[in-house]
Amino acid sequence: MTRSCCLLSGGMVLAVCLPGLGQTSNAPLVEDVFGRRLDAEHALVLVDWEGYLANPAMEIVIGPPEGAALPARAVLSAAEPRLYFNLPSQAGPHGPHKEIAIGEHGRRSVLVSIFPDRDGEDEVHELKLEWHDSTGVSWSLQLPIHVVDQDRSEGSGFPAMVDFSHDQTGFFEDDMRRRVVIQAMQDWMYFLDGTGLDPIAAGAEQTFIWNPDGFINGKHVANATEYTGFLLYVYGIQGVELRSGGEPSRAGGFQSVGGKQLPLRRSGGVEVETRGNYNELGWLVSLDDAEWWRATNLRDVPNDLYSIVHHEMGHALFSNAGYPLFRRAKERGVLEDERVAEYLGAAPRIDRSEHFPGTVDPASRRGAFGNEYHGEMPRGRWLITKADLLLAQAVGHRLRPTSAFAPLTIETDSLPAARKGEPYRVRLRASGGIPFYDWELASGQDTLPPGFQLDAYSGELHGVAGENGRFEFRVRVRDYNRQAAAQEKKFLLHVQE
């Protein structure tokens, strides 16, 4: 026997329809971390943070329909290939798929996220949940997913130049390979603040370039023209190690602002093994966000050019002993920085390869720099994480104020007056944090005017006032981050005749 979920028109709540019977029963339960039920009216909200960044993993809790016999099996799926669930799960061209065994307790947590894009447009997708109980009865539920896209068109970040002129292998004669490299560089630089950097005169910067046979010998080259920011030489190699590389120039100088030196290098290189990375299977050359799941970057498949170039750029930009602050941290074996430790919960280790082994980004649950094969999410194209940016900041970079770092704030300052006996509807506004908000009165001592309610999902204050008066109350909002502090604000509402 199968019970299917019916979505009624006009924004009505999902219900489970019992064939042949004129009644309904509860659908499978889906709740957010605040204990609120998600349904056709109250969608799951995901965020696509500003910039090309690993997005937050949103936790939901699934539970049995009324009357379901346990143990049971739950199956989650979606049609959008950029969506994914925490492991174990599958990702692919037809969307994610996850099966869960449900024990007698009856509830399980699931993480849901979306791979970033660059278009700045909000999206609507659908999550399908199938519930199969131990007696063979099945239920299904379709839950809307709203994606808040915070990408902006303005803002260029840290200035950078990519120079392919020293590629002697012909690898970068291909336009698409160049485009992948340039896009990866722009993605890093978007988050870094290069305001006020002093220009570097022609011939003033020395950069070491490896010979085409790999990491054996090379030469120093000087910048041919004046530039401001970071100069990155990208070229192919064919070495015995079958690996790519990346590093800053230790022969060059340091960035400066108004003549004051910064602990940041001015140039570097990325070397791409033309035959593949640790194999001779070639490269996946793509910028298609819907193909992120193809990029496992294991030794038995073609590696993803974007992933490897992105990683080696990280070594050139901050994760290398050529940066004084990183060098001192590497000597200690750990990067001690207050902002990093606060975010990660501990100071991250640094290994001999100048990676951060074991470090997982708390927001996205993906492995941070040098730990990309790990984390709680399916393997795929490597991304910058919020943790990576904080690590770069600890090494000396300044970060631009992008949405992933915006603090949770209640933006509404005051409320318009209400009239007794007339409908009132005002939406409180918040920004920052992970924008799936929970609104409530700050304490049991705070009361709204009689006849008013505060919508926990939307922050809408609405109702019909039953009496005149001056009403003071405090409102609290939480974002979708268990570790973040809630924000409160006091409001005064006048109800007049």
Query: Domain boundary residue among 355, 377, 404?
Result: 404
Q: Are residues 310 and 413 in the same domain?
A: no
- Residue 447 contacts residue 441 (beta carbons within 8 Å): yes
Q: Are residues 484 and 383 in the same domain?
A: no
Task: Give the number of other CB atoms < 10 A from CB of residue 174.
Answer: 12
- Helix/strand/coil percent split, the chain, to 5: 15, 35, 50
Q: Are residues 89 and 22 in the same domain?
A: yes
Residue whose pair of structure tokens reads 């009132």 in the numeric block: 424
Q: Are residues 103 and 41 in the same domain?
A: yes
Q: Are residues 145 and 183 in the same domain?
A: no
Tokens of 451: 């006849």
Angstrom CA distances, 182 to 188, 305, 406, stand at 10, 12, 27
Residue whose pair of structure tokens reads 């298609």 in the numeric block: 288
Q: Are residues 113 and 167 in the same domain?
A: no
Q: Are residues 137 and 181 in the same domain?
A: no
> Does the pLDDT value for residue 103 go beyond 70?
yes
Residue 154 falls inside a structural domain: no
> Does the pLDDT value for residue 248 go beyond 50?
yes
Peptide bond into 96 cis (omega under 30): no
Q: Are residues 321 and 276 in the same domain?
A: yes
Helix (H) / strand (E) containing 145: strand 138-149
Domain range enclosing 115: 2-149
Residue 262 falls inside a structural domain: yes
Of the candidates 248, 215, 216, 245, the residue with the CA atom closest to the CA atom of residue 231:
248
C-alpha distance across the termini of the chain, in Å: 58
> Does the pLDDT value for residue 1 go beyond 90?
no
> Does the pLDDT value for residue 118 go beyond 70?
yes
What are 150-179's pLDDT values in tens digits? 999 776 799 999 999 999 999 999 999 999
What is the Cα–Cα distance from 122 to 278, expressed in whole angstroms?
39
Predicted local confidence at residue 450, as pLDDT: 93
In this structure, what is the dihedral angle of CA atoms 120, 189, 377, 308, given to the nearest 10 degrees?
Answer: 120
Residue 141 falls inside a structural domain: yes
Query: Domain boundary residue among 376, 404, 432?
Result: 404
Q: Are residues 261 and 368 in the same domain?
A: yes
What are 268-326's pLDDT values in tens digits? 999 999 999 999 999 999 999 999 999 999 999 999 999 999 999 999 999 999 999 99
Query: Domain boundary residue among 101, 123, 149?
Result: 149
More confident residue, 7 or 193: 193
Of the candidates 84, 464, 456, 104, the residue with the CA atom closest to the CA atom of residue 289:
84
How many domains does the chain fold into? 3
Residue 155 falls inside a structural domain: no
Residue 110 falls inside a structural domain: yes
Q: Are residues 283 and 399 in the same domain?
A: yes
Q: Are residues 366 and 265 in the same domain?
A: yes
- Residue 171 contacts residue 177 (beta carbons within 8 Å): yes
Please report how many Cα atoms fall inside a 13 Å half-sphere around the Cα of residue 32, on the Cβ side.
24
CATH of the domain at 473: 2.60.40.10
Peptide bond into 450 cis (omega under 30): no
